[in-house]
């Protein structure tokens, strides 16, 4: 039985159809597991287990299977569940670790002064800070993308192959590769000069909107902070991103100059 038929059976299954659920899990377990393992490669932590997250992914998929109506969209939906669960677990594990470490450090060093603490952990923090900077930049770049473009870059970031991404977004590997190349042409120049591009925006409100948006703040929250409607924020974000794309295509080595010239 092919995956399309298996997906159909899964979507139509009632709550007691263990055979349909088992076939669905067997068909996609390896793909889900590989995605989670790739995400955990940058976040090694014995408290985060890929097998447990894979199992949790399928439990959640079975419980919420009626959210999907088309079999061809099922794999992408499943991988999104896996991604979200893994990110949540990474964050929770990090928070637990930080809380636990601070408590242990207070026991081991009850008299350590605040001015001495940074020097004691400087070398250990340096690598972690670099990883955090890179992770922050990746999150900002994903904010500049929508729809399939965002899915493709997110999967690329997780180390998926072109073939695997094609299956997830219902496209051909050639189409995925062309999309990726098209995105890179403007995204790399923008990433390189992102701070300068924000600073060269002529309107102060535009700068405030983009700073908040790239920090991951919801549109409604930004709207309240700036004092305008959500639709205005959405239009601002789309307009600025379009301008940055245009500038990067006009001058890939210096999009800031292109932005200033266009203004």
SS3 227: coil
Give CA–CA dist 211/195, Å, rounded: 9
Other C-beta atoms closer than 10 Å to the C-beta of 228 total 15
- Neighbour-count burial of 115, counting CB atoms closer than 10 A to its CB (0-12 exposed, 13-18 middle, 19+ buried): exposed
Q: Helical H runs in the chain?
A: 3-12, 18-41, 50-63, 74-108, 117-120, 122-143, 147-157, 162-169, 173-192, 194-199, 204-214, 219-226, 230-250, 255-262
pLDDT digits (tens, 9 = 90+) for 241-255: 999 999 998 888 888
In this predicted structure, the answer to whether residue 31 has a pLDDT above a threshold of 50 is yes
Q: Which pTM does this prediction carry?
A: 0.56
pLDDT digits (tens, 9 = 90+) for 168-221: 888 888 998 899 888 888 988 888 888 889 988 888 899 999 999 998 889 999
Mean pLDDT, the chain, rounded, equals 79
Q: Where are the domains of the chain?
A: 3-120, 193-262
**According to the CATH classification, is domain 3-120 in 1.10.1740.10?**
yes
Which fold does the domain 193-262 belong to in CATH? Answer: Arc Repressor Mutant, subunit A (1.10.10)
pLDDT at 99: 47
């Amino acid at each position: 039985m092919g995956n399309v038929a298996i997906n159909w059976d899964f979507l139509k299954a009632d709550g007691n159809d263990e055979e349909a659920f088992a076939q669905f899990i067997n068909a996609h377990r390896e793909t889900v597991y590989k995605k989670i393992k790739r995400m955990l490669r940058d976040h090694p932590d014995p408290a985060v287990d890929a097998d447990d997250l894979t199992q949790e992914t399928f439990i959640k998929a079975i419980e919420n299977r009626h959210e999907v109506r088309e079999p061809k969209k099922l794999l992408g939906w499943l991988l999104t569940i896996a991604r979200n669960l893994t990110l949540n677990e990474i964050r929770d594990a990090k928070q637990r670790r930080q809380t636990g470490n601070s408590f242990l450090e207070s026991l081991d060093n009850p008299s350590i002064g605040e001015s001495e603490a940074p020097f004691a952990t400087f070398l250990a923090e340096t690598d972690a800070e670099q990883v955090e900077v890179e992770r922050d930049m990746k999150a900002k770049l994903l904010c500049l993308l929508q729809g399939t473009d965002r899915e493709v870059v997110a999967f690329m970031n997780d180390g998926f192959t072109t073939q695997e991404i094609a299956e997830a977004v219902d496209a051909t590997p050639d189409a995925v590769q062309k999309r990726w190349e098209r995105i890179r042409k403007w995204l790399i120049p923008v990433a390189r000069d992102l701070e300068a591009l924000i600073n060269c925006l002529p309107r102060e409100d535009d700068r405030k909107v983009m700073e908040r948006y790239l920090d991951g703040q919801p549109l409604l929250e930004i709207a309240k902070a700036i004092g305008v409607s959500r639709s205005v924020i959405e239009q601002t974000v789309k307009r600025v991103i379009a301008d940055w794309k245009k500038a990067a295509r006009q001058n890939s080595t210096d999009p800031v100059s292109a932005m200033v010239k266009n203004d």
